[in-house]
């Protein structure tokens, strides 16, 4: 299975949920070893593929690709997690500005590097947000700088949401009803889960528990961030943008989102209307 998000939407959270559904009790290895980010360009791909082929448990890798960039296979299951883009921007800013020198070196000195060197973050959040909202790193993108397009990623998956091998998850719904969403994931994966096991998984993957063992869950053990893995697990909250972003930025965000997303996708992403198929049965 593939666990997918644009970025900063709860990818690690869903990876942890799946890991604790696959393995009962203590995980046998750090999460990024069990569930690697396959398209990342700072590792030996051949060696990684070899390690994946040696795994005997149910495999679950991570991706940040839009659906139109992933090889499609109806036998493969996809768990897609998204989040209000304003919350994504706040989390991405913390992620970006706390990269250490090692992270910048890795991303800028990879084999077969093409194009510009990945830039250091701007001096303030507002400059970052304006760039992220109105610039693309690739010529065809209109947002996401200096990463990749957030809105195209979400829309590409939303358009195929009715495919039986895609499960759409929302960060806010994980926050509101973690056990219910874990049940959805287990059902989608064809796994039976008892009430005691459900409670144990929910306890293992709540934000406080994961932050307490952040080096076990954070990508690369957190070594790419100043302050380590606890910096990666910053706050895990929504709505901080309300007291930070200007009215002009909020209006610009809404305008960009509505232009880039279909009305139903925009509404789902921002919690303005929940589609009937998102209801959690039995909860």
The model's pLDDT over 201-210, given as tens digits with 9 standing for 90+, comes to: 999 998 888 8
Tokens of 217: 């869950």
pLDDT at 262: 97
Rounded Cα distance, 225 and 97, in Å: 9
User: What global pTM score does this model have?
Assistant: 0.88
16-30, 64-78, 102-116, 236-250: least confident range: 102-116
- Over residues 244-255, mean pLDDT: 93
CATH 3.30.70.1400 fits 2-278, yes or no: no
pLDDT in tens, 72-130: 888 999 999 999 999 999 889 888 888 787 777 777 766 555 667 888 889 899 999 99
**pLDDT for position 221:** 57
State the pLDDT confidence band at 227, using cuts at 50, 70 and 90.
low
Burial string for 240-258 (b: 16+ CB within 10 Å, else e) reads bbeeebeeebeebbeebbe
Q: What pLDDT, on a 0 to 100 scale, did the predictor assign at position 225?
A: 65
Mean pLDDT of 134-163: 95
**pLDDT the model gives residue 274:** 44
225 versus 217: which is more confidently predicted?
217
Q: Which helix (H) or strand (E) covers residue 254, if one does?
A: helix 247-260
The whole-angstrom separation of Cα 256 and Cα 131 is: 12
- CA-nearest of 272, 11, 262 to 159 is 262
pLDDT for 101 = 79
- Which of 81, 231, 246 shows the shortest CA–CA distance to 161? 81
Higher-scoring residue by pLDDT: 262, 239 = 262
pLDDT over threshold 50, residue 276: no
Give CA torsion, residues 220, 224, 227, 233, to 10 deg: -50
């Amino acid at each position: 299975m593939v666990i997918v998000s644009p970025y900063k939407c709860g990818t690690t959270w869903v990876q942890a949920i799946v890991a604790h559904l696959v393995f009962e009790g203590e995980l046998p290895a750090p999460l990024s070893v069990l569930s690697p980010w396959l398209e990342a360009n700072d590792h030996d791909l051949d060696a990684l593929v070899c390690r994946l082929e040696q795994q005997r448990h149910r495999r679950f890798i991570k991706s940040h690709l839009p659906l139109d960039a992933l090889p499609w296979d109806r036998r493969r299951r996809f768990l897609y997690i998204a989040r209000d883009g304003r919350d994504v921007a706040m989390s991405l800013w913390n992620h970006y500005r706390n990269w250490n020198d090692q992270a910048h070196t890795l991303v800028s000195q990879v084999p077969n590097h093409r194009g510009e060197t990945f830039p250091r973050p701007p001096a303030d959040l507002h400059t970052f947000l304006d760039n992220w909202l109105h610039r693309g790193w690739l010529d065809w993108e209109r947002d996401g700088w200096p990463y990749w397009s957030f809105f195209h990623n979400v829309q590409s998956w939303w358009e195929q949401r009715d495919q039986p091998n895609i499960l759409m998850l929302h960060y806010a719904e994980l926050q509101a009803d973690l056990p219910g969403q874990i049940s959805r994931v287990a059902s989608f994966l064809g796994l039976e889960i008892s009430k005691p096991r459900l409670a144990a998984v929910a306890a293992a993957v709540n934000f406080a528990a994961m932050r307490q063992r952040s080096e076990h869950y954070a990508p690369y053990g957190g070594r790419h961030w100043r302050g380590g893995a606890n910096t990666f697990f910053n706050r895990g909250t929504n709505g901080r943008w309300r007291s930070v972003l200007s009215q002009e930025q909020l209006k610009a965000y809404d305008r960009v989102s509505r232009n880039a997303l279909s009305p139903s996708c925009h509404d789902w992403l921002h919690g303005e209307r929940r589609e009937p198929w998102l209801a959690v049965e039995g909860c």
